[in-house]
């Protein structure tokens, strides 16, 4: 089969790769239909490289089951599925408490195990999630990033009527805008450096949008909120300026949810950091998409909302490419040579 294998920084190859086989009784073989490029994939391509040179990567996907191990009961050939890309150790103190996102030896698809940028993938039965017959594969490929957002909001006490600021309008930020409205946010404020992303934020539920490259954007926000700020700020950019802003946008006693992953040091101005202390802010970090019982209620929640059409993913898809075009696309994405939000890979070049 064909797959994208990552050998090092900016060294991804479209090449012939060994087909996965059922070796364990709980193995499920899936023909990948759609795979999404995550922001972390772009950073891995450009900045981090592979934990295991030559490993197939990618972790957001959907497909159809082609084969199962002898002891697989809940999944059968022909089922349309997605999958949780996380593999807890089940042995550490956190796993024994059911706190799988805190596993001290967590493995991930595409990082430690062969990933979804391939024609076929092998996943344990426990990780496989069936999707409804009427859900298209593109929609299903968004279930994993939505679970990341749901997991984050589950970490905080958001209440109906709260005002929410979302900083960074990539896939996670745009899903966070929509999820805030589902949870009853009265107003959502979206911030980004790209007006095109802000236009998508407005289409998907943001009440106010702010271009942070413009002078006076922060004061404009404060004026709208009557110099109060908002109950919840969601930082999904991972940038130093975004993290600093998230602390200053929260109302006294408010909550800051950190979803964005920084790929460098985060030096904060003193006045921003002191907001945590002087305004008695609650700062919550969130990572991953899993809880107990594995893979967690995030997955049922996300699947339910997706199946009912409560999340609009179509405006987020800016590119659809075939697997063989992906190496070139990764170079463009990393260098920011063209606008993008979500790039969907069609893993069958003939589709």
The DSSP annotation for 293-349 comes to STT-HHHHHHHHHHHTT-S--GGGEEEEEEGGGHHHHHHHHHTT-S--SEEEEESST
Give the domain ranges of the chain: 2-146+289-346, 156-285
pTM of the model: 0.96
Q: At what angle do helices 240-249 and 217-224 cross, to 10 degrees?
A: 20
Per-residue model confidence (pLDDT) at position 347: 85
How far apart CA 28 and CA 170 sit, in angstroms, is: 31
How far apart CA 19 and CA 17 sit, in angstroms, is: 6
3-state secondary structure of 69: coil
Residue 322's nearest CA partner among 33, 12, 53 is 33
The DSSP annotation for 135-176 comes to S-HHHHTTHHHHHHHHHHHHTS---TT-EEEEE--SHHHHHH
Q: Residue 295: is it exposed, middle or buried by C-beta count within 10 angstroms (0-12/13-18/19+)? A: buried
Token pair of 146, please?
């939505």
- The sign of the CA dihedral 328, 42, 208, 211 is negative
Per-residue model confidence (pLDDT) at position 349: 55
Q: Does domain 2-146+289-346 have CATH number 3.40.190.10?
A: no
Q: Do residues 107 and 113 touch, judged by C-beta distance below 8 A?
A: yes
Per-residue model confidence (pLDDT) at position 286: 97
How far apart CA 351 and CA 347 sit, in angstroms, is: 8
Q: Do residues 201 and 234 touch, judged by C-beta distance below 8 A?
A: no
- For the domain covering 156-285, report its CATH number: 3.40.50.720
Residue 231's nearest CA partner among 279, 278, 266 is 279
For 126, half-sphere exposure in the C-beta direction (CA atoms, 13 angstrom radius) is: 12
pLDDT digit of tens for each residue in the chain (351 aa)? 999 999 999 999 999 999 999 999 999 999 999 999 999 999 999 988 888 999 999 999 999 999 999 999 999 999 999 999 999 999 999 999 999 999 999 999 999 999 999 999 999 999 999 999 999 999 999 999 999 999 999 999 999 999 999 999 999 999 999 999 999 999 999 999 999 999 999 999 999 999 999 999 999 999 999 999 999 999 999 999 999 999 999 999 999 999 999 988 999 999 999 999 999 999 999 999 999 999 999 999 999 999 999 999 999 999 999 999 999 999 999 999 999 999 999 987 544
Q: Do residues 310 and 182 touch, judged by C-beta distance below 8 A?
A: yes
Beta bridge partners of 165: 189, 233
How far apart CA 264 and CA 273 sit, in angstroms, is: 18
């Amino acid at each position: 089969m064909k797959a994208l294998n990552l050998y090092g920084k900016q060294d991804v190859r479209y090449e012939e790769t060994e087909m996965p086989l059922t070796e364990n009784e709980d193995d499920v073989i899936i023909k990948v239909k759609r795979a999404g490029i995550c922001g972390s994939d772009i950073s891995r391509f450009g900045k981090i490289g592979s934990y295991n040179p030559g490993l197939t990567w990618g972790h957001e996907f959907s497909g159809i089951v082609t084969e199962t191990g002898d002891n697989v009961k809940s999944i059968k050939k022909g089922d349309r599925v997605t999958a949780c890309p996380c593999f807890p150790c089940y042995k550490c103190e956190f796993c024994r408490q059911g706190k799988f996102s805190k596993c001290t030896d967590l493995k991930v698809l595409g990082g430690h195990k062969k990933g979804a940028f391939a024609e076929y993938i092998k996943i344990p039965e426990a990780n496989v999630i069936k999707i409804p017959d009427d859900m298209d594969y593109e929609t299903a490929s968004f279930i994993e990033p939505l679970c990341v957002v749901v997991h984050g909001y589950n970490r905080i006490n958001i209440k109906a009527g709260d005002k929410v600021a979302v900083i960074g309008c990539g896939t996670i930020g745009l899903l966070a805008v929509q999820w805030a409205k589902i949870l009853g946010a009265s107003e959502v404020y979206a911030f980004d450096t790209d007006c095109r992303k802000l236009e998508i934020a407005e289409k998907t539920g943001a009440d106010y949008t702010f271009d942070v490259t413009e002078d006076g954007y922060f004061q404009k926000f404060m004026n709208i909120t009557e110099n109060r700020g908002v109950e919840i700020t969601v930082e999904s950019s991972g940038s130093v300026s975004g993290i600093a802003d998230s602390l200053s946008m929260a109302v006294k006693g408010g909550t800051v949810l950190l979803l964005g992953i920084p790929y460098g040091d985060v030096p904060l101005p003193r006045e921003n950091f002191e907001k945590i202390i002087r305004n008695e802010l609650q700062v919550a970090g969130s990572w991953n998409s899993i809880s107990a019982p594995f893979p967690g209620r995030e997955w049922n929640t996300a699947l339910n909302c997706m199946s009912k059409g409560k999340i609009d993913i179509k405006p987020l898809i800016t590119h659809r490419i075939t697997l063989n075009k992906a190496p070139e696309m990764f170079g463009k994405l990393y260098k920011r040579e063209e606008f993008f939000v979500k790039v969907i890979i069609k893993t069958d070049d003939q589709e």
